[in-house]
C-alpha cells in the first residue's frame, strides 16, 4: 500500500548534514565510482529548499557546494522534500518512498533540466543518492 505521509519527521538540518556526507560515502564505493567512469556533469541535487551544486568527474563527486552559487549552471536537478530523503534512506523504505522515480510520481521530488546525464546513468544516481541507506548509523531516524 502506498502511504500519504512519511513515517519519520526529521529536521531539515539532519537531512542536509547527511546529504553533505554522500561524496565521502561514494569514495568508499569504488565499484559505484567505476560505473560512473564516463560521467562528467554539473547538477543540482538535494533537499528541495536546500539543494547542492554537485560537480561529478569520472564518477566522483569532486565538489558539493550549497546552492545558490552566483551564476553556476547545472544540466539537471533532482530535488526532494526532506521527508522524502528521510524515507528513502531507511534500511527498508516504505512503499512509494523507496525509489527516486516513485518519489517524483508521488510529487515528493522534482526532476528538471536536461535529463540525459541522469537517464544515461540512472542506476548510478539511484545508488549514489541511496548511499546513506547503506550506512544506517548515519541515517537520521
Residues in contact with another protein by the rule CB under 8 A: 1-2, 91-93, 95-96, 98-102, 104-106, 115-116, 119-120, 122-123, 126
Cα–Cα distance for residue pair 26/115, rounded to 1 Å: 22
> Given the complex with another protein, which of 51 and 93 has the nearer CB atom?
93
Min dist CB 98 to another protein, Å, is 5
> Given the complex with another protein, which of 115 and 136 has the nearer CB atom?
115
> Given the complex with another protein, which of 13 and 122 has the nearer CB atom?
122
Min dist CB 115 to another protein, Å, is 8
Q: Report angle CA 49, 57, 69 to the nearest 5 degrees.
A: 35
Residue 80 pairs in a beta bridge with 47, 109
| DSSP helix/strand/coil, 86 | helix
Enclosing H/E stretch for 84:
helix 82-88
Min dist CB 1 to another protein, Å, is 5
Residue 65 pairs in a beta bridge with 53
C-alpha cell at 104: 517524483
> Given the complex with another protein, which of 26 and 100 has the nearer CB atom?
100
C-alpha cell at 20: 553533505
C-alpha cell at 68: 545558490
Min dist CB 128 to another protein, Å, is 12
Amino acid at each position: 500500500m502506498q502511504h500519504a505521509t512519511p513515517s519519520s519527521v526529521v529536521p531539515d538540518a539532519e537531512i542536509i548534514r547527511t546529504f553533505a556526507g554522500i561524496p565521502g560515502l561514494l569514495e568508499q564505493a569504488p565499484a559505484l565510482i567505476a560505473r560512473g567512469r564516463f560521467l562528467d556533469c554539473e547538477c543540482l541535487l538535494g533537499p528541495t529548499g536546500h539543494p547542492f551544486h554537485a560537480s561529478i568527474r569520472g564518477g566522483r563527486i569532486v565538489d558539493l557546494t550549497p546552492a545558490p552559487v552566483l551564476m553556476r549552471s547545472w544540466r539537471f536537478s533532482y530535488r526532494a522534500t526532506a521527508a522524502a530523503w528521510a524515507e528513502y534512506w531507511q534500511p527498508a523504505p516504505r512503499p512509494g518512498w523507496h525509489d527516486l522515480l516513485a518519489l517524483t510520481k508521488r510529487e515528493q521530488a522534482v526532476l528538471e533540466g536536461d535529463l540525459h546525464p541522469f537517464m544515461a546513468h540512472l542506476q548510478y544516481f539511484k545508488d549514489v543518492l541511496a548511499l546513506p541507506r547503506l550506512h544506517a548509523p548515519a541515517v537520521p531516524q
